[in-house]
Structure 1
Amino acid sequence: MTDPNTIDEPQRPRRKGIYALPNAITLAALFSGFYAIVMAMNGRFDTACIAIFAAAVLDSLDGRVARMTNTQSAFGEQMDSLSDMVSFGAAPSLIVYIWGLKDLGKAGWIPAFVYIAGAALRLARFNVNIGVVDKRFFQGLPSPAAAAIVISLIWMADDNGYRNVSQIDWLAWTAFGVTLFAGLSMVTNAPFYSFKVFGGRRTVPFIVLVAIMLGIALIALDPPRVLFALFAVYGLSGYAVYAWRKYKGVPVSVISTSTDEPDEKDLHH
């Protein structure tokens, strides 16, 4: 029997731990972005580009690992956003500026700043709207895809032997246009397919595995050109979907547009 004169001590709240595995992957992605900047400063643009793509692969893994191991946390979400801002915001902006925009004078600042500002706005909007956006689509071009467009252009040109790009007017202005396009696309309302329909299932159709196999084989043939082509098509796909929806009279906003998906059923009240 408990002594009535005994005063129970209040239980201390359990300290929330920091899960090692998903955050280690996020830190690895952050290091890849930092490493890419360092390599670009030393003129090793091919290595810098590979580091950004490595960061994109790691970024795609940390959230999945957290869900698979049931180690999601608010700390991990914030850490992931900060890592994305470095790897897919600051790093591509600085790399493309060093590579091809610096000799354009102050004009070269414009796309570089628009890009990094677009990445910051894109990530902030994603964090705010994460609960009300149709999960089948991204609202605006995702920052890893925007980084891939800019970085694969640099990688492709470097692979073709172009050096001192800032002194090659047509290529410098191409970099200007591509960077500006990627930066502005991140803050548009165009719907970009998220591929989460397959990612959320335990099984996928066999044809999907065949398509993945063929995609890997194509990328292996000529990584810079194939990656640039793939991400350029993806970068234009959102505007194609937007135009198609406008033409059909279907709502173009990805905010609460789906009434068929179970995950979206509570977004329409």
Structure 2
Amino acid sequence: MISFIGYYNYTVILTYISLFCSIAGMLFTVNGWYKMAVLCLALSGLCDMFDGKIARRKTDRTDDEKCFGIQIDSLCDMVCFGAFPILLAYSLGMRGPIGIVILAWYGMNGVVRLGYFNVCETKRQEETEEVRKYYSGLPITSIAVVLPLVFVLHTVLRNHFAVALHVAMFVVGTLFVTNIQVKKPRNSTLAVLVGVVALAILKIFHVF
């Protein structure tokens, strides 16, 4: 009987789907299908919004399952909201020296943030079962909201689109490691964010 390492229960299924979407998005990007790539980024972000809520519904998770969940979430986040946006932004115009430096800055800060989160979250879960109320710094998943909104403006910004892209990636990347308290969004706020990104995606595909 063949066995597999890892955990494959419903607590991590959305994390795996998110990763699948992002890998597909990277393949769309290298083939120049940017609209599909942005859609994949948005879908990946949508999955990430709810994976934690689903995981917490399983009250009998072992310590190993909890630890695995923390690690696999951060590993997937680095691919989905670190490497994927870097590739997409580079393909959309951040190819000069300044753009490359900004993208490297973005990626480095993403790694620092996720590593710091892993340490703090593991320690926090050992001390309490209470759900976090605040994030330290901007969550790396926020790029799944920011980048589609910037992309939808490319027809309006035209020659200034590249500038907006540079600014967005630099600011978001910097906020990853800035020691600010960001209140964890409520369900109503998440619903608004989903609605805004959905409208952006519909605009990108010229639905309206």
TM-score by length of 1: 0.61
Q: 1:221 to 1:95 in 2, by over 3 A?
A: closer
2:93 maps to a residue whose letter is G
Larger radius of gyration: 1
User: Which of 138, 143, 146 is the equivalent residue of 1:141?
Assistant: 138
Aligned match of 1:222: 199
The aligned length equals 189
CA distance in 2, matches of 1:137, 1:217: 20
Aligned match of 1:8: none
CA shift digits 1:52-101 (9 cap, x unpaired): 11111212222222221334432222111111110011111110111121
1:92 maps to a residue whose letter is P
User: Which of 46, 56, 65 is the equivalent residue of 2:54?
Assistant: 65
Q: Is the 8 A contact 2:145 2:197 kept in 1?
A: no
CA distance in 1, matches of 2:142, 2:19: 16
Aligned match of 1:183: 173
- Aligned pairs for 1:117-266 within 5 A: 117-130=108-121, 131=124, 135-157=132-154, 160=155, 168=159, 170-195=160-185, 198=186, 208=188, 215=192, 219=196, 222-224=199-201
CA shift digits 1:200-242 (9 cap, x unpaired): xxxxxxxx5xx777x389638832599xxxxxxxxxxxxxxxx
Q: Is the 8 A contact 1:156 1:225 kept in 2?
A: no
Q: Does 1:44 align with 2:40?
A: no
1:142 maps to a residue whose letter is P
- Identical residues among aligned pairs (%): 24
Secondary structure in 2 matching 1:100: coil
Q: Is the 8 A contact 1:40 1:48 kept in 2?
A: yes
Aligned match of 2:206: none
CA shift digits 1:170-199 (9 cap, x unpaired): 32122111110111011101111112xx56
1:68 maps to a residue whose letter is R
CA distance in 1, matches of 2:116, 2:58: 27
Aligned match of 1:77: 70
TM-score by length of 2: 0.77
Q: 1:225 to 1:137 in 2, by over 3 A?
A: farther
Dislocated runs of 4+, deviation >3 Å: 215-222
> What residue ranges of structure 1 are gaps of 5+ in the alignment?
1-15, 200-207, 227-269
CA distance in 2, matches of 1:44, 1:161: 20
Secondary structure in 2 matching 1:22: coil
Q: Is the 8 A contact 1:152 1:225 kept in 2?
A: no
State the superposition RMSD in angstroms: 3.1
CA shift digits 1:129-180 (9 cap, x unpaired): 2229x932111110011342134312432xx388xx7xx3x32122111110
CA distance in 2, matches of 1:106, 1:77: 35
User: Which of 115, 120, 125 is the equivalent residue of 2:106?
Assistant: 115
Q: Is the 8 A contact 2:42 2:197 kept in 1?
A: no
Q: Which has the higher contact order (CA 8 A, sep 6+)?
A: 2
